Structure 1
Amino acid sequence: MSVVFVPERLRGRVQVPEDNVQRLLDENDQLIRCIVEYQNKGRAVECSQYQQVLHRNLIYLATIADATPPEPEKQTT
């Protein structure tokens, strides 16, 4: 997702707790497993519903990533 979608006032200012992000990543993992299972069973309606939730989660995570300030690079000597 492009930073174009993140409002200027939020760019570089969002701080989201790491456990929230991890919870979403875990949920996405489970969603992908369910999507694959339903695809294999030919159950398109259920598959589509899970794909919509996965898409929403991915857009949210991308928005957070675009709005989060970059971590300072570690200096190695």
Structure 2
Amino acid sequence: MSIVFVPKKLRGKAKINQEIIQRLLEENDQLIRCITEYMQKGRAVECVQYQQILHRNIVYLATIADASPDSTAPPSEARTPPGGE
């Protein structure tokens, strides 16, 4: 079971920290390795459950990233619009 899975009654109460994010990234690495191994063996059907967990983890990490203030990004007015000035 993925470490991201949280029962509905506990959702929204978990504290997100760097350790949890790192564990998710490590889990994603293992999932990708497992998916690759199954694909190389021609067992694509078995990959589906791992792909679903990987997808859920990636969406969860993206949600965290979107909700977190980014202190390294320049202010939006300082960004150059696509196509130049």
Taking structure 2 as the reference length, the TM-score comes to 0.64
Aligned counterpart, 1:67: 67
Aligned counterpart, 1:35: 35
- Uncovered stretches (5+) of structure 2, i.e. residues with no partner: 1-14, 74-85
Distance 1:72 1:41 in 2: 42
Q: CA 1:43–1:70 in 2, change beyond 3 Å: closer, same or farther? A: same
Query: Please, what is the CA RMSD of the aligned residues?
Result: 1.6
Distance 1:38 1:26 in 2: 19
Which structure would you say has the larger RCO, counting Cα contacts within 8 Å and 6 or more residues apart?
1
Distance 1:50 1:56 in 2: 10
Q: Deviations over 1:12-35 (max 9, x none)?
A: xxx720000000000000000000
Aligned counterpart, 2:83: none
Number of residue-to-residue matches in the alignment? 59
Question: Residue 34 of structure 2 aligns to which amino acid in structure 1?
Answer: C
Instruction: Extract structure 1 runs of 4+ deviating beyond 3 A.
Output: none
Larger Rg: 2
- Uncovered stretches (5+) of structure 1, i.e. residues with no partner: 1-14
Q: Deviations over 1:9-64 (max 9, x none)?
A: xxxxxx72000000000000000000000000111221111100000000000000
Taking structure 1 as the reference length, the TM-score comes to 0.71
- Does residue 19 in structure 1 map to residue 19 in structure 2? yes
